[in-house]
Amino acid sequence: MKAVFLSIFFCFSCSILTSQKNPDEKKREYLFVDGSGKFVFTREHRLLKNKLISRTQISSNQGSSHRILEKSVTVSQLGSIKENNHRVLVMRPLASDFTVWLEGKRYDSKMRLDIPNKKMMVELNSPEEKWKGKSSVAIPKGKQFCFFSQLPDCLFYAQLLSKSLERKDNISHFYVVWDGFPYIQDQYAFVGSKLFSPATVKYDGEDKKVLRFLVELDGQSILYHFSKSFDLVRMFWIAQGVSIIPPGEDTTDTEE
């Protein structure tokens, strides 16, 4: 595969996006369910010129108390490359700030893209010596890159969802960038140990005006439900027992 990641011509092209309605940018609240309980999950995104900025947060609401358990801010750059005599939208991850509290202790992971050296710079800060300090990871050859916390937004603006919808047999390839690296690999079973994971996305059908798309990575499947305007409705990470659903909805009524 041609190494196009760092030679992308990044000019924002509004004309490419006018044919589709963009998802709502307002803050949305969901129910996050896993093996340890039920939590409040919020997410929001904004497209500022050619920068896609997404924020997610998981928190615990017990009575009058509100405690943040995990939060992430990710920034990607939307641009285009020339392919087969026309321009194709692509995403490049620029930076992320991820924080998770494990057993009451704070763990931070910050990433910044080093374009000249074709590397992602990673800075860790935690109570554990093995997760402290700075390092760099080489960028793999590829065209599309999406932060994990930013997947619904990234897949839409890179037009991978619309391509899969137009051609039902289409499988789009991209790389997931784990903004929670390396902590997410320690939290979840069978998630690869690397910062970048090759992944695919494909259309998985429609039910009750909800569009389903299947993301596969590291031998696992994540099912995303979107509205017709590509607002996130639900997410099921089956192997990890993780569900993100609208408040008040029962997972037994929606998971497939």
Quick: pLDDT tens for 74-128. 999 999 888 777 888 889 999 999 999 999 999 999 999 999 999 999 999 999 9
pLDDT band, residue 2 (cuts 50/70/90): very low
Q: Is the pLDDT of residue 255 over 80?
A: no
Query: Are 25 and 47 a contacting pair, CB within 8 Å?
Result: yes
Mean pLDDT confidence for 46-54: 94
Domain ranges of the chain: 23-254
Taking all residues of the chain, what is their mean pLDDT, rounded to a whole number?
89
CA distances from residue 80 to 19, 84, 154 in whole angstroms, order as listed? 16, 13, 14
Q: Is the pLDDT of residue 1 over 80?
A: no
Mean pLDDT confidence for 44-63: 91
pLDDT band, residue 16 (cuts 50/70/90): very low
At 13, which amino acid appears?
A: S
Q: Where does residue 72 fall: left (phi above 0), alpha (psi -120 to 50 degrees), or beta otherwise?
A: beta
Mean pLDDT confidence for 169-174: 92
Q: Is the pLDDT of residue 19 over 60?
A: no
232-248 tens-digit pLDDT? 999 999 999 999 999 98
Q: Which residue has the higher pLDDT, 138 or 6?
A: 138
Q: What is the pLDDT of residue 12?
A: 43
DSSP reduced 3-state for 125: strand
Q: Which residue has the higher pLDDT, 252 or 242?
A: 242
